[in-house]
Copies of this chain bind each other. A is one copy, B any other.
Amino acid sequence: MVSVSEATQILNSVSFKLMVQTIRLEEADQCVLAEEIRSDRDLPPFNRVAMDGVALASKTFKKDHLFTIEATQPAGSPQLKLQDPANCIKVMTGAMLPENTDTVIPFEETTIESNRVRINLDHVPAGLNIHKQGADSKKDDLLLPTGQLISPAEVAMLASVGKPEIKVFEFPKTAIISTGDELVDVHETPKPYQVRRSNTYALQAAMKKMGWHASRFHVADNKDLIRSNLSQCLNQNDILILSGGVSKGEYDFIPSVLHELGIHKLFHNISQRPGKPFWFGVSNDHRKVVFALPGNPVSTFLNFYRYVKPWMYKQMGITEKPKWAILASDFNFQPKLTYFLQVKVQNEQGQWRAYPIPGGGSGDFVNLNLVDGFLELPLEKTDFKAGEVFPFLPFR
């Protein structure tokens, strides 16, 4: 048995070499960059007009002067040049600022009289409504580091610097395997003593959200079948995520079979509730990694979000900062275990307040639909008071 922090340390000590793949920008959201992204030009690449209006030379500005419009500078056209400093050039948002001008007066501040413009301002300083070349970043500046999780904001950036394809980390080949003779598939009608499988579907959905695709398998509680199936899965995959068969039951063959197949146990059992009988092991060469999670639905769910997901992201260079929430009402938990309390979290005036909805135990997956995540209550304490702050693990 290890503690939650020991389990975390052991997981952190196991690193796994990821491959890099090239994908289209349209597929990039939620992927993790495996290359640095630098500007190929200054951003903006030129002194860019930021509002529709007229560009002029500020030093020639005089109140009530009528500026003759020499020309129009649209966006997407070569730079024009103001010929006479007493004139002006109409400019459109996104255009290059014309040569010999240094300020842009928006149409809202002007009165246009045929081909002449009156500026309805007393003073006109230089630099109005110009988005200066290089103001946001310079050519060759680092814009996005390796290990950056890509969201739509980063997609905009990648498009701007001309990356129709990008290098991202590839998720390893992974199989999700459930065991348990009581389990039938979703489309089947269970007998009175059976239930339908749900863990492998939930795990697959949680992983797909990260861009991590895995196949689903189910194996009966028979040691020979488990051995042959796990052996085959290990040949065809780098990572196995198992659900069930790791507890103290007579049909819990997973640990011994994994040992026979050359997967060495790094820990079995974490001093936590739910999800205590978690078994974790690797092959000698660290090329095969096995997360054998207990099969109760809440246990599987918690262990995935608390251990498996952060481990995978860590391989890509992402360490998420801990989140915190404020316990909203007193709670008591006696056993000497870290307790992952199911909570509904409300944002109240900028504070994350966590309302306990403990549910009916690790088999009660109905409760998961009522909550937003788990509050991690340390094993050193038994009485937890409203107002105390604890790490919060969201899953929505």
**Given A75-B221, A152-B395 in contact, is the A187-B159 Cβ separation under 8 Å?**
no
A324 CB to closest chain B CB (Å) equals 5
| A188 proximity list for chain B (CB < 8 A) | 162
Which segment of A8-16, A191-199, A224-232, A256-264 sits at the interface?
Answer: A191-199
Question: Is A20 in the interface zone, CB < 8 Å from B?
Answer: no
Chain A 230-255 interface residues, beta-carbon cutoff 8 Å to B? 247-252
Q: Place the interface of chain A in its size category.
A: 35 or more
In the complex, the answer to whether A151 meets B395 with C-beta atoms within 8 Å is: yes
| A349 proximity list for chain B (CB < 8 A) | 324, 326, 389
Which segment of A56-64, A91-99, A116-124 sits at the interface?
Answer: A91-99
Alpha-carbon separation in the docked complex, A396 to B30 (Å)? 10
**Given A76-B180, A151-B396 in contact, is the A197-B363 Cβ separation under 8 Å?**
no
Q: Contacting A162 at CB < 8 Å: which of B52, B75, B94, B189?
A: B189
Question: Is A19 in the interface zone, CB < 8 Å from B?
Answer: no
Question: Is A157 in the interface zone, CB < 8 Å from B?
Answer: yes
Which segment of A81-89, A203-211, A281-289 sits at the interface?
Answer: A203-211
**Given A347-B352, A352-B352 in contact, is the A198-B368 Cβ separation under 8 Å?**
no
Q: Contacting A93 at CB < 8 Å: which of B28, B92, B296?
A: B296
Question: Is A144 in the interface zone, CB < 8 Å from B?
Answer: yes
Copies in the complex: 2
Specify the chain B residue showing the minimal Cβ separation from A390: B350
Residue of A77, A153, A158, A349 contacting most chain B CB atoms (<10 Å): A153
A residues whose Cβ falls under 8 Å from a Cβ of B: 25-26, 28-30, 41, 43-46, 48, 50-52, 72, 74-79, 90, 92-96, 106-108, 131, 135-137, 143-144, 151-164, 180-183, 186-199, 201-206, 208-209, 221, 247-252, 295-297, 301, 321, 323-326, 347-353, 359-369, 389, 392, 395-396
Specify the chain B residue showing the minimal Cβ separation from A252: B52
In the complex, the answer to whether A136 meets B186 with C-beta atoms within 8 Å is: no
| A350 proximity list for chain B (CB < 8 A) | 324-326, 351-353, 389, 392
| A106 proximity list for chain B (CB < 8 A) | 248
A159 CB to closest chain B CB (Å) equals 4
